[in-house]
Structure formats: structure tokens, C-alpha cells
A = this chain, B = another copy of it.
Amino acid sequence: MLSKNKIKFFNSIKKKKYRDINQCFFAEGEKLVDELLNSDLKIIEIYATSEWINLNEQQITKRNADVIEISENELNKISSLTTPNKVIVIAKQTCFDFNINEISKELNIFLENINDPGNLGTIIRIADWFGIENIFCSKESVDMYNPKVVQASMGAIYRTKIHYVDSVKFLTDIKSLENFNIYGTFLEGNNIYKEDLDKNGLIIMGSESHGISNTISSFINKKLFIPNYPIMKKTSESLNISTATSIVCSEFRRRIS
């Protein structure tokens, strides 16, 4: 049974402010919940239909979490999906530290003012696929616990470390590292297919509407370009941010695969 207060609570944590106050977020649907229960994240409560509960007794016992049985009708009231899917889990937000020396040995992503939750979720999924563990976002970026981010990440959000940082301070620290390149894509950059790309480094991607700002651009020492084809034809002005990120990450990993 779902109390009026609980419905109110669910609606409140659709907003970042209340997710932060309660240090929690939620994931919905069989696939996302299955991955969540198999992750290291702390589970607060599971709201599920009797059908889901019967099929997942083992997992519930393993996680020792509170389970509240609800009807399809009650699920509809708290879900943020068009087609609610059997189960919603509230989990605890996690906050990761990072060590600049460890970062220096890895490939990392920095997102400047990413705005669209679908794009952030997709980029988290790309990073996870390509073994990029740390994603840095400028403080103005969309919240990683936005339900649409969680959904689009398809569970990758439980395996990657996402840090919200003061852009200039973070990039100033990173810039001082030795043998560490900072990359970004620009229309006037070098052909990415022919450029030397290291195993480690930082890939900067700009916002959907404004690209990489001049301030952030000044930290970049390797400008890359994804060539369009054929060069002479009028094509789209740009690729969208998650498309460009996937091609750039793929190129970095191709060199060492």
C-alpha cells in the first residue's frame, strides 16, 4: 500500500533539490532495477508489484532491502515512465573522490555544461562500454540522478564515477600533469583518424547549443576533427554531442585494441 505521503515523496524526488536533501535517487523497470540490485549501491526501498516480488525473491533476500508491494495503479501514480514497468527502487546517492595522479594514467571525459539528460545518460553508457571510469561535469551540467539520465544510461551509471567540479580549478590542476594531453573536437581541428591519440588523457566535449567555450578551449592542447564525407558536399553542420563522443572514444580505444 502506498500512503499519500509516499506519493508526495516520490513526486518530490523527481526534482534535484529533493533528491539532494534526501541523498537519494530512483531507478525504474526490470532491467535497470536488476542491474541496480547487482551493483554496490545502497538500496533504500523497493516498490514492486506482486508479480515482480514473486519472481525476484532471491535477489530481495540477498540485498536485505525493504520491499513494499504496490498495485499497477499505485505504480502509475509514482512512475516517471510513460509505460511503468513493475518496479521502482530508491537507492542512495554516492559521492566519489578522485586522485589526480590516478586520473593521469587513465582516459577521462569532461563535459562542459551538458544540458540534455538523454545525452548525459547516453555518454555514461558510452564511457562504460569503453572502460572510461571517470566523467567530470561542470557544475552547471544536468544532474546525473535526473530520472532520464538514469534511464538512458541503462545501468552504466552504477559502474562509472561522475564528478561535478569547478571547471577552471579542475582543468588548471589537470593541465599541470606531465605526459597528459587534453583533447577537444573543433571544426578546425586535425583529422582524428590520423592524429596520435594516447592511452591516457582528457576528452572535453562542449554543450549541445554552444560547443566548447573560449575559457575551456584555452586548456586544450590537441584539437581534433571528425571528418565529414565527402569533404566537398554540404552536410550537417555538426554531430550531436553523444554521437561525437562515441566516435572520439571509439577512435581512442581502436588504437589499443
Contact = CB atoms under 8 A, between A and B. Distances in A.
A253 interface: yes
A101 interface: no
A202 to B, nearest CB: 17
B131 A243 contact: no
A151 to B, nearest CB: 11
Interface in A214-257: 226-230, 233-237, 239-240, 242-243, 246-247, 250-251, 253-254, 256-257
A159 interface: yes
Contacts of A159: 234-236
Interface stretch (A4-12, A90-98, A120-128, A169-177): A120-128
Contacts of A240: 122, 125, 152, 154
A199 to B, nearest CB: 10
A129 interface: yes
Contacts of A250: 226, 247, 250-251
A27 B235 CA distance: 18
Interface residue tally of chain A, by bracket?
35 or more
Contacts of A118: 118
A129 B228 CA distance: 5
A235 B193 contact: no
Contact of A129 (B152, B239, B242, B246): B239
Query: Interface SS of chain A: helix, strand, loop or mixed?
Result: loop
A125 B128 CA distance: 24
Contacts of A237: 154
Contact of A246 (B128, B191, B228, B239): B239
B155 A236 contact: yes
B242 A242 contact: yes
Contacts of A227: 253, 257
Contacts of A233: 131
A48 interface: no
A73 to B, nearest CB: 25
Interface of A: 118, 122, 125-126, 128-131, 152, 154-156, 159, 191, 193, 226-230, 233-237, 239-240, 242-243, 246-247, 250-251, 253-254, 256-257
Given A125-B239, A242-B242, 8 more contacts: A129-B226, A129-B229, A129-B236, A131-B229, A156-B235, A193-B254, A193-B257, A239-B246
